[in-house]
Structure 1
């Protein structure tokens, strides 16, 4: 079972997300255990203050190191597996990807730190965490929403969580490409018809169509993804044909 600890001063934000859909089913199946920790409870002052003014002046408040250090160290002492990965949600971090989700899904224990205010005391970055993650080049009010995104993408990859083990394998980015189009009943909706090949029952032709459409969609929408993909010769040929058709 994967253990996920979430440090936040707004723990109630996670109730709806973790209590529904795939994330709830994963917990019900005992594939994952969530614990939300309000690190304000670790503050060593009477008012449970977790932020302070930045040295040198400037706008905003900065999260103090003491409550977060104490909270993480307490969780580590209680950990039953190897040293957890401690993830700081931060717009300065590594841009999140499906590859990172697959990497994290193989871990036994993840600790997420969700910050607020202007930022974190730098000593948290330098001496406590294992990595920083950003879900995009923009700034959110806090790290909670980013942590929810990462947790969702990781948990759905855990064994037995999805109804079909092939579901996540065919997802966009799992193969390096964008996923092919999908269709369902009716075959003719207001004159808009499902491609004939999908109704043919010929699985080889259907798979070929799906690969070609995946290549086409990636070429049209995210051609940059091809820079990190080593396509088989046959797929390279199909991609060349797609590019010629677009010229």
Structure 2
């Protein structure tokens, strides 16, 4: 026979196998990291008083495998069990093109998840329970962190009425009193403003609606506070 058979060296096969393995690892890393990367590049949230999802990430993001979370922070634990992206994508609870029709589009009982926004990734945020609170007085400061510096057309800030119990009740529009509305803010990563909500004690929810300026994109954010 005059045919020629090409023999591939073991070294070449080893290089090919390692290249394929490396590509697979990179693909998995991209899969797991992309939700955080996208949210960090594109969005923002209320960091003080901490939103439910930001608070979970701040306290447990680098320690999310710690079994102590179940006892010390049970609402973050149940949120993480339901969907870890609730924690990793703490900047992403927004809706688009609502044209200011918030109550018509965000049903009672779904205010903290922005009406099951973002594919329902954070429906656990609507669950009543022992959410960790931030201590505040009657006068307190609300702080937005916005990675992408969208700016704001306005913020509406609501606080639950005295007698509402976040540990046993899902949040509805009738449970809220609007206590503050701001004007416009130029694009910036950090925006702060003062709010007054007298006549309250104990555990309440501060509900912030942030209308971003770059397009009709609205964020709906629940923060648990303890009025002292």
TM-score interval (norm. to shorter): under 0.3
Q: Which has the higher helix share?
A: 1
TM-score of the two chains, using structure 1 as the length reference:
0.22
Q: Which has the higher strand share?
A: 2
- Asked which structure has the greater RCO (Cα within 8 Å, sep 6+), the reply is 2
TM-score of the two chains, using structure 2 as the length reference:
0.23
